[in-house]
Structure 1
């Protein structure tokens, strides 16, 4: 069993290419990629919402395209799909207000606050519930960090900051510097609050540490929320999950005799203790329509010739937000063209490349995940109920919101330093005349925000990245402006639409890297390894005996 190789030896091996394979290197066609993305983000697909009639259209299109590429159904019982049962929660008739002393402060849903739940029930009512500021809301014993200390927060509403303490002061290096850990993710905040017995959580939204604006919050949390079915939901979910605008929090703290900025500074210390907002409370009530839906992951498989029980994964989520409130232009369809029709199209074309070449020794499995936008639920379900054993899953590549702006000088690896995929990918990138950029924006917590993460935390080496850095072709300034404008005005908004003006030459380079690294692994006995110090290494090591 080979679990690791030196970086130098690995790079040298990857730079050597077989003449046979070199002759059969595929060409990824920009026209095909664009057409896949155009179809999947067309208005007729209604924003690819899960549990909607549009889902059937997506499943049909993907299974037909995978079949045309030469792949077989890869789901349970010879099916193209894996059923994923979710609870769906729709909040309505939302009323919310803060109260400080005798003064009531009504909050407008969507403008000042968003409120949701992922706890089964018909109604949520929280009346005059005390508010406690718990800093970043983190309990991390291995980092000697406890924002709760011995304070009993049961039945109270926690006010928490987004991200972790190192975002504001990276030199503290308590959480790895300005590189978000899972403790900084909103999902963790809600999970830890449930463990603490809180009645609810209000996350204070700030654009920089969240890495997205308030419009993304309203678009993502104002509609139905989803969760996998849990046996003990009452212990794992709080009744209310909410976000408020920063200005609302500043005003609340001031009325309660506190300084928001001063408490933010205090929250960066291990000595921080929870601060009850004296005389302040929250009241909220809303109806909840709770139901179950079955949505689907789409799986396609190309069986290996020599080691068919060893699996290499390529993953991307097919879903998006669906239909929501109209934007300024009256558009209600969140087409999700870049996020993630591009990654879905990329998987289809990688499948075509594998299907057209000699059959690899190990099996290749494509998984188009559902419910990523609802909290990585499709991938979480698969990782908890794998069709192919995780112990003999060699590793995988995740594609999410791929480059549509042109060729770049660098390839960014999100979560750089975690595994020897860094060196494997680096060799291919350098052969293209590009450079590796370690995690272009580690503070955004990207490694915990896409579908590779549920697999990684269970020990499967996964890599996620793509084009970044300066553009290589003119007009450079225009390309940069378009890329920046997407993050500012289109991400998770109705304006994320397909364009005939996309330049997919950079996406082609990225797909070539992912294909070639996967092909090398598919025809080798290598097992990618986590690097020393990775928090995911122990889970992989626990199954070492199952790999030969």
Structure 2
């Protein structure tokens, strides 16, 4: 889940009701709460992929999807039926023991503590160790190569044999103006891009400087997400996608590094926001001795389906990720289980109940698939596997509606989606909302890059019209001031931390309203001949157009 408040319904001023409900709800808050409470309980051990927690989660989802009336829709079996699951082979790598990390700057050497000044990920380049000695560091700004924007942070500098130090987010983040969409993050701002660019250039690796605002989360999130087991899809040549070292460093350490090189960190960051920026060698080297275990494991997507009455080969997808961070480093209270109640037991609960609504309601003309994906927290891997190994053809997939967290704060006046993409699927969502007096608000924090951080993105890359629903921040009880304050509190104190636990006092009334809206959107699409499309200037339009002949 990518932090942002889950949303509810709009209301009208004056004598009008808080919202216009066209029909009784299809959803039961108590049933949703029961799923969240179970999936986020300590018994499920944080739902880490390839752990006993996964086994319990897969069993629970398969059982509850069946009880809801769905049919198994995963991998085909020898007898012609389908399993509840889709096998997802993944590379798993985990650090063994405590890595030895030393930094030499200005002639002095100091040890760095894993998880404190630095967070070094277990290697995903196909090796079982990181063994580097006195590798030089070079600051390359935001680490962006964007020919279409006439932007190159490397300026021909050969970074082979070096560690690159980069800033998180885009060059526009600080000013809100420029070639990269202003405050709205582009893919160039994502840490995944920065690691990929280092691998493309043959660098030893990347050190991303963490700052809370441009990253949109605190250091605790970085530590908890990058010092446990790492996963990737199984690649023929992993070194082409991953350099040996993929790490984050604290801002204070970066300031120290720059000072030892006679540089001012803030001044260097300002320079990096210009097209004329040139790489800056740092008077520092880094050594890392890290051991890891790695191997291929098989995780699972869970897939249920309602088969369409007249167009069964045309598919609408609802998705949510079932995984979280599992068992990890203890917090200040000694709690080691990362329960992930909001992120994303809540979206998984919504997926089960959305399946129930379609299975017990009028049979749709098109098929509807309910896809619970694995390893979202490891880089959208389960959804990427489905998007590149679809069980049902993407050419005739109407669209994908993703639920990464649901409203757990009561009713709100607005709703949104992650990112600012323009597509017919969003137009349909806005139209359905208007019918019941609900209003759409563009994403409150596009600078967080949420569009690239949730499972709909992997579908979009294949051309499928896809959105990740985001609830609103303008709460009926307290407005945007309270909404924004609660976002900040969750991000700081609970996001990717053991404290993301179920609270029985949680108000799910807004979640029920949201799910009714998403149900009516799906019902509209599943009972029509509509094929939503990306806007003409969308980067995903070309991929969709390539399969146009399959849609009639």
User: TM-score if structure 1 supplies the norm length?
Assistant: 0.93
Tell me, yes or no, if the aligned pair for 1:407 and 1:467 is still in contact at 8 Å. Answer: no
Q: CA deviation at 1:191?
A: 0.6
Q: Which moved more, 1:145-154 or 1:367-376?
A: 145-154
Tell me, yes or no, if the aligned pair for 2:317 and 2:399 is still in contact at 8 Å. Answer: yes
Q: CA deviation at 1:481?
A: 4.9
Alpha carbons of structure 1 residues 504 and 148: separation in structure 2 relative to 1, 3 Å? same
Question: In structure 2, what is the equivalent of residue 27 of structure 1?
Answer: 26
Higher relative contact order (CA 8 A, sep 6+): 2
1:461 aligns with 2:456: no
Q: 1:149 aligns with which of 148, 155, 160?
A: 155
Q: 1:164 aligns with which of 170, 195, 208?
A: 170
1:369 aligns with 2:373: yes
Question: In structure 2, what is the equivalent of residue 58 of structure 1?
Answer: 57
Q: CA deviation at 1:475?
A: 10
Q: CA deviation at 1:469?
A: 2.4
Residues 7-32 of structure 1: CA distance to partner in whole angstroms, max 9, x if unpaired?
xxxxxxxxxxxxxx976x64211101
Question: In structure 2, what is the equivalent of residue 408 of structure 1?
Answer: 412
Tell me, yes or no, if the aligned pair for 1:471 and 1:480 is still in contact at 8 Å. Answer: no
Q: 2:253 aligns with which of 248, 251, 259?
A: 248
Equivalent position SS for 1:159: strand
1:397 aligns with 2:401: yes
Tell me, yes or no, if the aligned pair for 2:25 and 2:512 is still in contact at 8 Å. Answer: no
State the alpha-carbon separation in 2 of the partners of residues 249 and 387 from structure 1. 46
User: TM-score if structure 2 supplies the norm length?
Assistant: 0.93
Residues 438-486 of structure 1: CA distance to partner in whole angstroms, max 9, x if unpaired?
1121000000001111110110000112221221147998776544422
State the alpha-carbon separation in 1 of the partners of residues 482 and 215 from structure 2. 26
Equivalent position SS for 1:149: coil
State the alpha-carbon separation in 2 of the partners of residues 460 and 211 from structure 1. 27
Equivalent position SS for 1:518: helix
Equivalent position SS for 1:82: strand
Tell me, yes or no, if the aligned pair for 1:303 and 1:364 is still in contact at 8 Å. Answer: yes
* Number of equivalences: 525
Residues 289-344 of structure 1: CA distance to partner in whole angstroms, max 9, x if unpaired?
11221100001111101111110000000000000111111111000000000000
Equivalent position SS for 1:471: coil
Equivalent position SS for 1:165: coil
State the alpha-carbon separation in 2 of the partners of residues 251 and 43 from structure 1. 41
Q: 1:124 aligns with which of 125, 130, 147?
A: 130
Question: In structure 2, what is the equivalent of residue 208 of structure 1?
Answer: 213
Tell me, yes or no, if the aligned pair for 2:218 and 2:491 is still in contact at 8 Å. Answer: no
State the alpha-carbon separation in 1 of the partners of residues 398 and 484 from structure 2. 36
Question: In structure 2, what is the equivalent of residue 14 of structure 1?
Answer: none
State the alpha-carbon separation in 1 of the partners of residues 505 and 209 from structure 2. 38
State the alpha-carbon separation in 2 of the partners of residues 180 and 481 from structure 1. 22
Tell me, yes or no, if the aligned pair for 1:416 and 1:422 is still in contact at 8 Å. Answer: no
State the alpha-carbon separation in 2 of the partners of residues 326 and 415 from structure 1. 33
Q: 1:281 aligns with which of 282, 285, 298?
A: 285
Tell me, yes or no, if the aligned pair for 2:130 and 2:244 is still in contact at 8 Å. Answer: yes
Alpha carbons of structure 1 residues 286 and 402: separation in structure 2 relative to 1, 3 Å? same
Q: CA deviation at 1:510?
A: 1.1
Tell me, yes or no, if the aligned pair for 2:420 and 2:446 is still in contact at 8 Å. Answer: no
Tell me, yes or no, if the aligned pair for 1:113 and 1:242 is still in contact at 8 Å. Answer: yes
Q: 1:133 aligns with which of 126, 132, 139?
A: 139
4+ residue runs over 4 A deviation: 474-483
